[in-house]
Structure 1
Amino acid sequence: MVPLHLVAGHLGTGKTTVLRNLLAALPDERIGLVVNDFGTAELDAGALAAAEVRSISGACLCCTAPAGFAAAVKELLDAGVSRIFVEPTGIARPADLVDTLRRLPWRERFDLRPLIVVVDPERLDDVRKAQAEIADILVVNRTDLASAGSLAATSAWVSGLWPGPARVIATAFGEVPASILDPVPVPAFRPVPRPTPDETWSARTWTWPPETVLARRALLGALRERGLERAKGIVHTDEGFSALELAGGTIHEAATGWRRDSRLDAIARDPAALDALGAVLARAVVTEEASVGLEIVHADGRVVAWTPEALAAIPGGLDDVGTAVPGRTGPAAPISGLLGDAEGLAVAVAADGYVSEPTAVDVLKTGYVAYDLAPEQGGPLRLLLPPGTGSSCANVKSVVRIAVRPDTGVPRATSGSGR
């Protein structure tokens, strides 16, 4: 398989310099390079001379141009390159790129290597931290220009990451060893600390490969009702990857960019509680089923199923969605008719397991569900938002579910009967 490397980082972190140095270390290889249209401007002619370059113009790889990104990767594979590098824009979400790559029908033709994320310790705000949390290899660049306080703050932040990167490299001028291109093991699981040093506590750990999906509602119910003292994990659910922590009888939940695996650690006084949790987790694994409609999961747990015929009967539908979303055709139902008086945030789930970023329900209500599309057009159902909403990442092909959650901030907390 062809090694494929994602090199991510915000503008000004030096990720292009890191990439240039890596290309220089591979003079005997035929390199494929996928960049956004302005990415090649900073790569010198020598670095590009032996590379097959595919430039994605006018769009972010993870949001508005995933189809172009997928096509570019396939073109490079067909061209016979020995290695592929992908440099997205600074605002790209690496997790979305990983999700896109894992869903490709030619996934077996490349080996997705450790994700490299470059950060600048002097410019490490919450947005940049969120992008870097998925890093397998975290490159802390520009250390020569950083203050001692910024370096200490960055070190403290890295130490607190859970599960955290497999490797951290502090450097200047983008100088990194070529060994960062090699595979790395998944970081070891750090178990939940015991509430007291009492030896009567029982503990258990479950792990799943990243492609295994668990039903979120079943998972939350199991954590809430199984007599557990504490639990912590990151799990790929049917509503996206979630970081979960049970403490003091409350489940704290937050979206996460972690994509390497799913893992859950739990402790309880009674080992039978862990046995019961394991049985529920086994039943919560989602099997792929053909969908013939759209599920709306409301914040109170209600699930309403809509068939294409029911969608066609919703008032305010369009005979041609192209009048609201240029470039698309076919009949469509207004999402406002599906969500009613719902508020907060929602995620859209595709048939292949892709989950969009949380989007404001009020924004989704401006969009439509096209319900009579061929599979090659993203059908049979496709969620579409008009231009100018600022949420192009919610335009989900083959959508099968929209799940609403209260907008309580991040992290989210649920307790009581809830969902």
Structure 2
Amino acid sequence: MTATPHAALQKVPVTIVTGFLGAGKTTLIRHVLENAGGRRLALVINEFGDVGVDGDILRSCGVESCPEENIVELANGCLCCTVADDFIPAIEALLAHERRPDHIIVETSGLALPKPLVKAFDWPPIRSRLTVDGVIAVVDGAAVAAGRFADDPAKLMAQREQDGAVDHDNPLEEVYEDQLLCADLVVLNKADLLDADDLARVTAEIGAATPRSVKIVPTREGRIEADLLLGVGAAAEDDLAQRPSHHDDEEGHDHDDFDSFVVEMPAVSDPAALVGRLARIAEDFDVLRIKGFLEVSGKPMRLLVQGVGSRFRHQFDRPWAPGEARRGRLVVIGEKGVDRAGVEAALADPVAA
């Protein structure tokens, strides 16, 4: 069906889904795709590392609301650093489709700062065609409750500003805070892993860290109504001043504080044993994130593995396709200086295979 002239003139809403490593962005987006309520969606996915785990998970949905040609994966760098080179051409290609999407969802990498991306929507060629319907920050409630970040982010920022002797920052904390500072809605994921006291404490901490009145929605498995996530109507490009950032005075930022590498994995015979070994490796080497696909001997399906710190999940996500190379590959992400050789040696240890 051809769009009416009126529809062609309307701005296409874009929802930016941001969140720290392993918070559950991809799971949340998959749930939205499967419950799109008749919307024709498009996705732009940005990953840290060169194995398209998130894109592959979302393509495997096979839902009519978001056909495969509407899924664009950008793996050449963080979107907040490569807006002009990668993001804008991808968006223009989506808008040129005969059946233009009703709504575009952008999943940023777990290390991305959302504000530079929002700024891009204020550029004249983009502003006339798109609007930022909302910035959604997905938070790993269990990780925050465990003290992955400061208990009182606002107080810590004030202390840093007052103490001239402090000349270093925690980049993980800054990324997390910048994502909250830019958000229109905070999805407090994995709330089922928190007791009532921890849930109340984490909710209060997030509320104190946001400069505006931002709704905080607890959820599990990223299950949130599409109508709550889409149609926020924030027009975020119009109120950039209300979205402060640690990097407002910088031209950009880089990710020199992080290392990412890919490990080729042989077929495994005992997935549970391997996942237990991955959890120990993550703890021993202070790895932030491990994710990827594995071949299980004698099984026709591919095993998806995702870990945040020492917390791991694994499941068979789909059958291996005919003619598809049954390769096992894991993306490992850590802070700068992570012991790559040690991680690779531990993964190759036949004793624990």
Q: TM-score, normalised by structure 2?
A: 0.52
Partner Cα separation in structure 2 for residue 358 and residue 68 of structure 1: 16
- 1:98 aligned to 2:127? no
Who is 1:26 aligned against? Answer: 36
Give the partner amino acid of 2:61.
G
Partner Cα separation in structure 1 for residue 185 and residue 62 of structure 2: 22
Aligned partner of residue 69 in structure 1, secondary structure = helix
Distance 1:186 1:153, change over 3 A: farther
Aligned partner of residue 201 in structure 2, secondary structure = helix
Distance 1:64 1:111, change over 3 A: closer
Structure 1 position 100, deviation (Å): 1.8
C-alpha contact (below 8 Å) 1:121/1:142 kept by paired residues:
yes
Who is 2:61 aligned against? Answer: 46
Distance 1:185 1:100, change over 3 A: closer
C-alpha contact (below 8 Å) 1:62/1:92 kept by paired residues:
yes
Partner Cα separation in structure 1 for residue 60 and residue 235 of structure 2: 36
CA RMSD, Structure 1 to Structure 2 (Å): 3.3
Who is 1:138 aligned against? Answer: 186
Structure 1 position 34, deviation (Å): 0.6
Equivalent of 1:57 in 75, 82, 94: 75
Equivalent of 2:250 in 341, 347, 352: 347
Structure number with bigger Rg? 1
- 1:151 aligned to 2:199? yes
Q: Deviations over 1:291-344 (max 9, x none)?
A: xxxxxxxxxxxxxxxxxxxxxxxxxxxxxxxxxxxxxxxxxxxxxxxxxxxxxx
Aligned partner of residue 28 in structure 2, secondary structure = helix
Give the partner amino acid of 1:103.
W
Distance 1:56 1:3, change over 3 A: same
Partner Cα separation in structure 1 for residue 71 and residue 183 of structure 2: 24
Aligned partner of residue 143 in structure 2, secondary structure = coil
Structure 1 position 68, deviation (Å): 0.8
Structure 1 position 17, deviation (Å): 1.0
Partner Cα separation in structure 1 for residue 84 and residue 134 of structure 2: 20
**What residue ranges of structure 1 are gaps of 5+ in the alignment?**
188-207, 212-234, 243-253, 258-345, 349-355, 360-389, 391-419
- 1:169 aligned to 2:169? no
C-alpha contact (below 8 Å) 2:133/2:232 kept by paired residues:
yes
Who is 1:210 aligned against? Answer: 239
Distance 1:12 1:165, change over 3 A: farther
Q: How does 1:302-341 map to 2 (within 5 A)?
A: none
Partner Cα separation in structure 2 for residue 161 and residue 186 of structure 1: 21
Aligned partner of residue 32 in structure 1, secondary structure = strand
- 1:75 aligned to 2:93? yes
C-alpha contact (below 8 Å) 2:191/2:219 kept by paired residues:
yes
C-alpha contact (below 8 Å) 1:70/1:104 kept by paired residues:
no
Q: Give the ranges of 4+ consecutive aligned residues of structure 1 lying more than 4 Å apart after TM superposition.
A: 184-187
Aligned partner of residue 46 in structure 1, secondary structure = coil
Q: Deviations over 1:321-370 (max 9, x none)?
A: xxxxxxxxxxxxxxxxxxxxxxxxx734xxxxxxx3599xxxxxxxxxxx
Distance 1:103 1:186, change over 3 A: closer
Who is 2:231 aligned against? Answer: 182
Who is 1:3 aligned against? Answer: 13
Equivalent of 1:87 in 104, 107, 119: 107
Partner Cα separation in structure 1 for residue 126 and residue 82 of structure 2: 21
Partner Cα separation in structure 1 for residue 234 and residue 91 of structure 2: 25
Distance 1:145 1:44, change over 3 A: farther
Structure 1 position 145, deviation (Å): 1.2
Q: TM-score, normalised by structure 1?
A: 0.44
Aligned partner of residue 87 in structure 2, secondary structure = helix
C-alpha contact (below 8 Å) 2:41/2:105 kept by paired residues:
yes
Q: How does 1:95-134 map to 2 (within 5 A)?
A: 95-103=115-123, 105-124=125-144, 125=149, 126-127=173-174, 128-134=176-182
Structure 1 position 81, deviation (Å): 1.8
Structure 1 position 44, deviation (Å): 4.9
Structure 1 position 183, deviation (Å): 2.6
C-alpha contact (below 8 Å) 2:78/2:109 kept by paired residues:
yes
Aligned partner of residue 187 in structure 2, secondary structure = strand
Partner Cα separation in structure 1 for residue 55 and residue 89 of structure 2: 19
C-alpha contact (below 8 Å) 1:347/1:358 kept by paired residues:
no
Distance 1:357 1:165, change over 3 A: farther
Distance 1:27 1:115, change over 3 A: same
Partner Cα separation in structure 2 for residue 146 and residue 157 of structure 1: 14
Structure 1 position 107, deviation (Å): 1.8
Distance 1:210 1:186, change over 3 A: closer
**What residue ranges of structure 2 are gaps of 5+ in the alignment?**
1-10, 150-172, 256-335, 337-353
Aligned partner of residue 16 in structure 2, secondary structure = strand
C-alpha contact (below 8 Å) 1:166/1:184 kept by paired residues:
no
Partner Cα separation in structure 1 for residue 113 and residue 219 of structure 2: 23
Structure 1 position 159, deviation (Å): 3.1
Distance 1:48 1:92, change over 3 A: farther
Partner Cα separation in structure 2 for residue 358 and residue 164 of structure 1: 27
Partner Cα separation in structure 2 for residue 183 and residue 90 of structure 1: 22
Distance 1:88 1:42, change over 3 A: same
Task: Tell me the number of residue pairs that the alignment of Structure 1 and Structure 2 aligns.
Answer: 208
Partner Cα separation in structure 2 for residue 149 and residue 77 of structure 1: 46
Partner Cα separation in structure 2 for residue 82 and residue 209 of structure 1: 21
Asked which structure has the greater RCO (Cα within 8 Å, sep 6+), the reply is: 2
Identity %: 28
Structure 1 position 109, deviation (Å): 1.1
